[in-house]
Amino acid sequence: ESKEDICLNPHARGWRMAMAGARWFATRSGPAASNHIEVGAFFRSNGAVTHPDSQIHFRPLLLDPVTWLPSKAHGYNFGVGPLRPTAKGTVTLASADPYADPIVDPNHLGTEKDRVDFRAQFKMTREVGEQRAFDRFRKREVGPSTEARTDAEIDAFIRAYAHSAWHNVGACRMGSDARAVVTPDLKVNGVRSLRVADTSSMPSMISANTNCTAFMLGEKAADHIRGGPMLAPMNLPFYRG
């Protein structure tokens, strides 16, 4: 919760929410002109990793941790999670019926490393919230995270309240080996005139959101289909600021 009434909670309920929506449709301005997840960072959960393995977002809105509905109190929240989880999920057929939904098991937190990393990310996020920059605004941490102090309690909290950011990749992994679903030019092995041009064809997870990569895969597929030249590969230096 925040000591100052400067957050978005009043604009996320009732008539204020309706007014914010109307203002955006009329003028493309006001509280609804942004998704308000504009502040974030990539960081390393421990000194042993060589690249950022964690992502954190700040949102000027206090949400109920169970219902995810805006709280009546002013406040803010953090969202944090692993960038390259090691657990592998599965997508399998439910039946021979082509219209039946597949069985999707993301297997979140399916490895000990993922659980250890997420625990470290939780602790570092709490540390961020306790910095002096937040002293002016910080009133109190809102439960049930307040009950998560020991490693076991933090693990239980993560199990109960973590959710997917929907950046799943690799169900139709591209490659040149026998287990690859699509070829490097995105053609489905064993099927004529079919390509996969979305993040399911990515061979591995990237250290970021997948939106830009999805656009790049679409452009790559378009170049292949049109028979145009491919973009030249670029080796960009890794920033270690």
Q: Catalytic site residues?
A: 167
SS3 66: coil
Q: Where are the alpha helices (DSSP H) in 74-228?
A: 112-129, 151-161, 211-226
Torsion, CA 155, CA 41, CA 237, CA 197, rounded to 10? 80
CA distance 109 to 103: 18
Cis peptide before 31 (omega within 30 of 0): no
- Residue 150, class by beta-carbon neighbours within 10 Å (0-12 exposed, 13-18 middle, 19+ buried)? exposed
Read off the DSSP letter of residue 111. Answer: S
> Are 182 and 191 a contacting pair, CB within 8 Å?
no
**Radius of gyration over every alpha carbon of the chain, rounded to an integer in angstroms:** 22
Tell me whether strands 54-59 and 39-43 are parallel, antiparallel or unpaired. Answer: antiparallel
Chain centroid, CA 72 distance in Å = 26
